Amino acid sequence: MKVVWSWLLELVDLDRQPTVEEGARALTAAGLEIEALTDLGAGFTGVVVAEVVAKRPHPEAAKLTLVDVITARGGAATQVVCGAPNVPEPGRKVLWAPPGATLPGGITLATKPVKGVPSPGMLCSETELAIGDDDDGIIVLAADDATPLGAPAQQALGVDDWLLEVNAPANRADLLGHLGVARELAALIGGRLVPPSIALDELTGDLDAAALAAIAIADPAGCPRYIARVIDGVTVGKSPRKFAQRLRAVGVRPLSNIVDVTNYVMFELGQPLHGFDWAHVAGARIEVRRATAGERMTTLDDQERALVPEDLLICDGARPVAIAGVMGGKDSEVSAATTRVLLEAASFDARSVRRTARRLGLHSEASHRFERQVDPALAELASARAASLIARLGGGRIARGSVDVYPRPTTVAPIAVRWERLRALSGTGMIDAIAIGACERLGFAVESTGPHTAQVTPPSARADILREVDVIEDVLRIVGYDQVPSTLPRLASAPRHTVDDRGDRARRALAGAGLAEAITFGFQAPTRAAALQLPADDRRARPIPLRNPMSLDQAVMRTALLPNLIAAIARNRSFGRADGALFEVGSVFLRKDAGTGEITELADEPIHATAVLTGLRPAWLGPARAWDFFDAKGLLETLVAALVGNAPLAFERATDIPYLHPGAAARLVGPDGAVWGEVGEVHPATREALGVDGPVFAFTLELARLPAAAIAQMRAIPKFPSASRDLSLLVGVDVPAGEVERVLRSAADALVEAIALREDYRDAKLPAGTKSMLFSITYRAGDRTLTDAEVAAAHEAIVARATADLGATRR
């Protein structure tokens, strides 16, 4: 809401005159944030009011005039060359930009010859001063203009003023007019509201509104009140300059005096108004009703609108003439030929206006206000004020009375308020009198009902004040939030939350292992999900679509973290970072149904930890090694250990994960037999689809599949020494290392503490079809030092099993 400072001050009688900065500060502190404070006259400097004392034609050019002007009564005249066709007769005032004056666009005036005659500066037009769009000639002040000679032009134009841009809270329709802001200012500074002047004394006996306009409301819920007035004999024309200037300041283009008045009163009081050309209201009759199916009308902006039955219409005896609260119709628009105006001041249901405005994509100053529920009581004041202004500016006569259809007048119910509740909720010791004083400054009627209790009745304009807590907020607002002390809440034992912090533990483990954490968007391009090459029935291949994405890149929810991370690698490579180790821990979004369209229930949102490795590992001096599968596997093992301790894990070769290389991928199976995650080289087709042309290794752990970490219990530190024996085996080259290890473990008795693979060696010198594996086996007993014979017996048992089960030979 744009507020003109002088306009605001017209509507209040303040105890003391604040500066505009003071006013802006006070309003901001009370929750009416002033987003901008603009000097309306800042566009030009040095331009002054001057009086024409003589004029004569330019000797060399017929279209130019030599004008003598004075800037002080009895002062010396200065001759200025003027090219405008409308140089006035002596005695009228114009605006002179003398040498040194500056104009919008950064022009500084000087004395320059015009067709051989020197001209000290120039006489200004509206466009030259950027205060209007009339460039047909220079500005000539009204004959009765009282601005003194030599005064700044800003004063004569009504731009020696400030514009405040107020960010009004969404529940404060009352702040969408100067009057509401004035009510706040009066409460904050101290003072009283001064309603705008209304002169309805031009009422004549021969014209009666009731006889000129019949009003019927078919839908009182949609239209609680409709007031019509008729102003006869108007002359449609331009509005006076200062009046039009205020409209320009608040962002409305002046059109004609009648339309300008309706806009002016809307900005002044917050009540939207509409003027109809009475001659085009068929049957001198207005009916407010819902549209019928298939009904159409053409609005002011020349668009033909298809209407639906929920749209509320203003109709005359024959057809719709306006969409209620949204926009008027083309046919009944006030035009230059209009002589009799039917002035509408009505209240419409906020939801109804909002739905229609939204559906038609029509957001007007009127709908903006109606959507926030305009006070029905305001219509009466606005109707009278506008009629009075139309009569003044358009020279018309106001028909006697008004037609006011208001079937169920809104009443404001008093609110029971406990001042103790105010003190408790605010945490202040505010005494009753301070609170009551704040209410009264806001125009709330306060009636004491007992010790520390009262009935509070807000003005009807304050539809947001319905409950005790609303009154409490407003009291605090006016007294000032800075009057509330800062305390800490008393520490109460709140029930303990069992927080799943696996995500953060995973983050710390992976960052500790040298990876950088990324956070990527929850939505992505559909092509990213497609890059996983999953079959159509996999729910990861059916990402949840957004109904209204901002771009195709954000059209569907992610079903895996991998695509965004690979895309991040591609991005890093594009600026020369070919090496990287990234991870993300975050939610993926999986639909619960078998469809592909809009979801009908909430999604599963499991948290995944995914990492990608590409290029070279960080190295010291000398050559670096490339990341490989076993780096990924080792990091995954490290991550699992950080989350659940040293659980026995199995990695099962996987050839069927579509986004991983079929020869270099494995599933991680936990001790519970469930798949916890997967690791592998990313399938070349997947990474290429995401823009990466070199190997990428990746793993994913589904955190929810892991058991809660048990509280670690200490194991006894061994008291007796261990013995270690190496075992070198020749095994068939196709036997997986995991299988060899499993067999060795199966033969291990209680004396075996650890089996560790040291070498996995393939060489042409070995017997054909074999590889050499070197294990280091550690033996220990908890209660004694093992003898060589005991160790040897255990070791030979393992060798025997390896020979028997694997056909291995000892080297």
Partner 1 sequence: MTTTLALVAELEQLGSEFDGVIAPLVDEQAIRAAQAQFLGKKGRVSEAMKALGKLPPADRPTVGAAANRVKDAITAAVDRKLGELVAAARAADLARTIDVTLPGRPHHSGHLHLLTQVRLEAQAIFAELGFAVAEGPQIETDWHTFEALAIPKDHPARDMQDTFYLSDEIVLRTHTSPVQIRTMQAQRPPIRIIAPGQVYRRDDDPTHSPMFTQIEGLCVDENISFADLKGTLVHFVSRFFGKSLAIRFRPSYFPFVEPGAEVDMACSFCEGRGCRVCKQTGWVEIGGSGMVDPDVFAHVDIDSERYTGFAFGMGLERMAMLRHGVNDIKYYYEGDLRFLGQF
Task: Tell me if 743 sits within 8 A of 807, measured CB to CB.
Answer: no
Task: Tell me if 7 sits within 8 A of 40, measured CB to CB.
Answer: no
Tell whether residue 413 is a contact of partner 1 (CB under 8 A): no
User: Of 191-199, 302-310, 480-488, 655-663, which part binds partner 1 (CB under 8 A)?
Assistant: 480-488
Alpha-carbon gap, residue 366 to 273, rounded angstroms: 8
Tell whether residue 185 is a contact of partner 1 (CB under 8 A): no
Write out the H or E segment, with its range, that includes residue 216. strand 214-217
Cβ nearer to partner 1, comparing 245 with 564:
564
Q: Under 8 Å CB-to-CB from 27, ≥6 apart: which residues?
A: 33, 34, 164, 166, 181, 184, 185, 188
Start-to-end CA distance of the chain, whole Å, equals 90
User: Of 261-269, 597-605, 726-734, 755-763, which part binds partner 1 (CB under 8 A)?
Assistant: 597-605
Phi, psi of 421 (to 5 degrees): -65, -40
Task: Tell me if 10 sits within 8 A of 181, measured CB to CB.
Answer: no
Question: Residues binding partner 1: what is the number (CB under 8 A)?
Answer: 98
Tell whether residue 606 is a contact of partner 1 (CB under 8 A): no
User: Of 138-146, 436-444, 448-456, 503-511, which part binds partner 1 (CB under 8 A)?
Assistant: 503-511
- 458, 524, 381: which is closest to 187 by C-alpha? 458
Cβ nearer to partner 1, comparing 427 with 718:
427
Tell whether residue 623 is a contact of partner 1 (CB under 8 A): no
Minimum CB distance to partner 1, residue 219 (Å): 17
The interface with partner 1 within residues 363-392 (CB under 8 A) comprises 371-372
Query: According to CB under 8 A, which one of 508, 705, 725, 801 is a site residue for partner 1?
Result: 508
Tell whether residue 21 is a contact of partner 1 (CB under 8 A): no
Tell whether residue 68 is a contact of partner 1 (CB under 8 A): no
Calculate helix-pair angle for 468-479, 419-426, nearest 10 degrees. 60
Cβ nearer to partner 1, comparing 31 with 220:
31
Query: According to CB under 8 A, which one of 10, 470, 741, 790 is a site residue for partner 1?
Result: 470
Task: Tell me if 158 sits within 8 A of 246, measured CB to CB.
Answer: yes
User: Of 294-302, 318-326, 487-495, 658-666, which part binds partner 1 (CB under 8 A)?
Assistant: 487-495
Minimum CB distance to partner 1, residue 176 (Å): 11
Angstrom CA distances, 488 to 397, 440, 491, stand at 66, 32, 8
For every residue of 365-419, DSSP letters joined together read: HHHHHHTT---TTHHHHHHHHHHHHHHHHH--EEPBS-EEE-SS---PPPEEEEH
Tell whether residue 801 is a contact of partner 1 (CB under 8 A): no
Tell whether residue 694 is a contact of partner 1 (CB under 8 A): no
Minimum CB distance to partner 1, residue 28 (Å): 7
Token output for 601: 């229930």
Cβ nearer to partner 1, comparing 365 with 517:
517
Query: According to CB under 8 A, which one of 253, 467, 742, 758 is a site residue for partner 1?
Result: 467
Tell whether residue 719 is a contact of partner 1 (CB under 8 A): no
Tell whether residue 30 is a contact of partner 1 (CB under 8 A): yes
Tell whether residue 594 is a contact of partner 1 (CB under 8 A): no
Cβ nearer to partner 1, comparing 318 with 546:
546
Alpha-carbon gap, residue 745 to 172, rounded angstroms: 76
Cβ nearer to partner 1, comparing 42 with 484:
484
Task: Convert 16-53 to b/e letters by CB count within 10 Å (16 or more is b).
Answer: eebebeebbebbeebbbebeeeeebbebbebbbbbbbe
The interface with partner 1 within residues 538-577 (CB under 8 A) comprises 544-550, 554, 557, 564-565, 567-569, 571-572, 575, 577
Angstrom CA distances, 392 to 235, 273, 404, 462, 519, stand at 11, 17, 23, 31, 65
Q: Residue 97's beta-bridge partner residues?
A: 122
Tell whether residue 504 is a contact of partner 1 (CB under 8 A): yes
Tell whether residue 355 is a contact of partner 1 (CB under 8 A): yes
Cβ nearer to partner 1, comparing 293 with 602:
602
SS3 508: helix
Cβ nearer to partner 1, comparing 595 with 807:
595
Query: According to CB under 8 A, which one of 6, 10, 14, 29 is a site residue for partner 1?
Result: 29
Tell whether residue 22 is a contact of partner 1 (CB under 8 A): no
Minimum CB distance to partner 1, residue 562 (Å): 12
Write out the H or E segment, with its range, that includes residue 266. helix 257-269
Q: Classify the phi-psi angles of 419: left when phi > 0, otherwise alpha if psi is within -120 to 50, otherwise beta.
A: alpha
Binding mask 331-350 for partner 1 (x = CB under 8 A): -------------------x
Query: According to CB under 8 A, which one of 521, 630, 720, 761 is a site residue for partner 1?
Result: 521
Q: Under 8 Å CB-to-CB from 58, ≥6 apart: which residues?
A: 64, 65, 66, 81, 114, 115, 117
Phi, psi of 9 (to 5 degrees): -65, -25
Query: According to CB under 8 A, which one of 302, 482, 693, 788 is a site residue for partner 1?
Result: 482
Write out the H or E segment, with its range, that includes residue 167. strand 162-167
Minimum CB distance to partner 1, residue 300 (Å): 24
Cβ nearer to partner 1, comparing 477 with 542:
477
Cβ nearer to partner 1, comparing 494 with 789:
494
- How many C-beta atoms surround the C-beta of residue 535 within 10 A? 8
How many residues would you count in the chain? 811
Minimum CB distance to partner 1, residue 415 (Å): 13
Cβ nearer to partner 1, comparing 518 with 706:
518
